[in-house]
Amino acid sequence: MFDEFRQIAKRTAKAKGLTYQQIADATGFDLSTIRQFMCGVTDSRRVAEKIADTLELRLLYGNGRYAVLSEAKEKT
């Protein structure tokens, strides 16, 4: 369900110089939870959405699947 998102998240994290530990700290999840999600062991909507927020990615849910709409969501 989140395979495409995982690949984009990995590329984005690398481009931003973020480690899984830094993502875990920002999301409030344990490092093991982030690793399991990023490796495809788990498919958690809540984890995906927190990672997307941390990486400034925008997810859209529709037709039973998620899609990455854009990068860099505007912050006001």
Residue-range domain boundaries for the chain: 3-70
Backbone angles phi and psi of 72, in degrees to 5 = 55, 75
pTM as predicted: 0.83
| pLDDT over 50 at 73, yes or no | no
Cα 43 from Cα 37, distance rounded (Å): 6
Q: pLDDT, tens digit, for every residue of 18-31?
A: 999 999 999 999 99
C-alpha pair distances (Å), 15 with each of 22, 41, 43, 47, 54? 14, 23, 23, 20, 13
Judge contact between 60 and 8, C-beta under 8 A. no
Percent of the chain predicted with pLDDT > 90: 68
Percent of the chain predicted with pLDDT > 70: 89
Mean pLDDT of 30-57: 95
Q: What is the pLDDT of residue 8?
A: 94
In CATH terms, the fold of domain 3-70 is 434 Repressor (Amino-terminal Domain) (1.10.260)
